[in-house]
Structure 1
Amino acid sequence: MRGIRLFVSALLAFAVFGGAASAQNAATGFFDSATKKWVSYRLTPEAAGAIARSKYKRSVVRYRTGEKPGTIIVDTGERRLYYVLAKGKAVRYGIGVGREGFTWSGTEKITRKAKWPGWTPPPEMIRREAKKGRKLPGYVPGGPKNPLGARALYLGGTDYRIHGTNEDWSIGRAVSSGCIRMLNEDVEDLYERVGIGAKVVVL
């Protein structure tokens, strides 16, 4: 019964539909104990984004670390980013992380901050996507359609950034080429908290 209630709730709240779906659509489901079968369904990107917003809602939490206040700690396995506060607390945000083959860890510093940044795809990404039959533009100006979203925090001398996204459904997933994605309102909040030189620890 619990599985059925969850399914009905999803139908009412998130516009569930069946059949073919694009890569952005979230496949999910539940085990129906009455029929002893797995019932699968798909969510629209908008519905998946709404779920991500609810599951990864920004909050202040207790957080134990030896890092100083002002440090950013990215827990890729947990799909969370922590901005360390004083007195054993931190602001916790949901994130999207690098997909298999694009994960990384280490310590960097914020070397640049940008509002509504433009995006220039790296040459290796252009080549990689071309092999899949997808032609990337040479440059995308800042704005709502830009994949870097509302803000970007550049990490050291790398190509990696902590940035916003126009794909809310990707929060909580491993889908990027190594960058750390955040909801636009979350990266805007983090942007105002951190300065150039802030330490970033990626686990």
Structure 2
Amino acid sequence: MMTPKDPISRRKFLSTSLALGAAGLAAPAIAQQIDPYTGQALQGTGGGATPDAGLVQYDANQDSRRNISSFRMQDWQPYFSTLTNGAILVDLPSRCLHYWSEDQAVYKLFPTSVPVSPDLTRTGRTEIIKKVEGPSWAPTPEMRKRNPEWPEFVKPGDPLNPMGTHALWLSWQYYRIHGTHDTRKIGRKSSNGCIGLYNEHIKQLYDLTKVGTQVMVI
């Protein structure tokens, strides 16, 4: 169990995040205001980065929703030869995720968060190798180097956990498609490489996918 350095800040965070988290499940527009590891207000212009983003600051003006014209339905055929096991296309420039079921009866389009910088971005073909409801979270070695004050492990269900309610493990080490309690991240460059969805959307995707579902990141 993690022992926070500042229990008062933690208590402030917990009381605030629980209220905001409950509201966020009903209305994705509600955003978390507190950084989970400091108990302080999020930093940056117009909102700030979160643990998954390694506390990297971003330009809110640059990250404004200018991808509306790209946020449109896609055809699976240019990207996949078959829909065996279903398919996920993560479109980084438009910050959205497309899902097609194997029988083509289901198509979903979800807004996402994307990696904050090119060096944290990975593209190409992978697949889902594991599905977890109530995931735990541990910073990668590189995150720990940048932020040694972060805990080594956060248990499932802890409001400090940046993985949200569900997670899909990819075959690439450390890369996930997961939920987030911090709804400010969606539609922005704000992650350390993972793809984030609203918690209500990751639950839908979790229920639709299986181990072996194809994933392509472009």
Into which bin does the TM-score normalised by the smaller protein fall?
0.5 to 0.7
> In 2, Cα distance between the equivalents of 1:168 and 1:25?
16
Per-residue Cα deviation, 1:86-131 (whole angstroms, up to 9, x for no partner): 559721001001001312201111000001100111121111123x
Per-residue Cα deviation, 1:116-166 (whole angstroms, up to 9, x for no partner): 100111121111123xxxx11010001151100000000004110000001
Letter in 2 for 1:77: P
* Residue number in structure 2 paired with 1:26: 46
Closer, same or farther: CA 200–139 of 1 in aligned 2, 3 Å? same
* Residue number in structure 2 paired with 1:80: 96
3-state DSSP class of the match of 1:201? Answer: strand
1:154 to 149, 169, 174: 169
Letter in 1 for 2:87: T
* Residue number in structure 2 paired with 1:137: 151
> In 1, Cα distance between the equivalents of 2:199 and 2:130?
18
Query: Which protein has the bigger strand share?
Result: 1
Percentage of identical aligned residues: 33
> In 2, Cα distance between the equivalents of 1:24 and 1:171?
16
* Residue number in structure 2 paired with 1:121: 139
Closer, same or farther: CA 168–91 of 1 in aligned 2, 3 Å? same
> In 2, Cα distance between the equivalents of 1:94 and 1:180?
10
Q: Give the gaps of 5 or more residues in structure 2.
A: 1-28, 31-40, 48-59
Higher mean Cα deviation, 141-150 or 176-185?
A: 141-150
> In 1, Cα distance between the equivalents of 2:115 and 2:172?
18
Closer, same or farther: CA 192–24 of 1 in aligned 2, 3 Å? farther
1:169 to 174, 178, 184: 184
Answer with 1 or 2: which has the greater Rg.
1
* Residue number in structure 2 paired with 1:64: 75
Q: Is the counterpart of residue 98 in structure 1 residue 109 in structure 2? A: no
> In 1, Cα distance between the equivalents of 2:216 and 2:176?
13
Closer, same or farther: CA 180–62 of 1 in aligned 2, 3 Å? closer
Closer, same or farther: CA 157–87 of 1 in aligned 2, 3 Å? closer
> In 1, Cα distance between the equivalents of 2:95 and 2:73?
17
Letter in 1 for 2:153: Y
For normalisation by structure 2, the TM-score amounts to: 0.63
For normalisation by structure 1, the TM-score amounts to: 0.67
Q: Is the counterpart of residue 191 in structure 1 residue 206 in structure 2? A: yes
* Residue number in structure 2 paired with 1:38: none
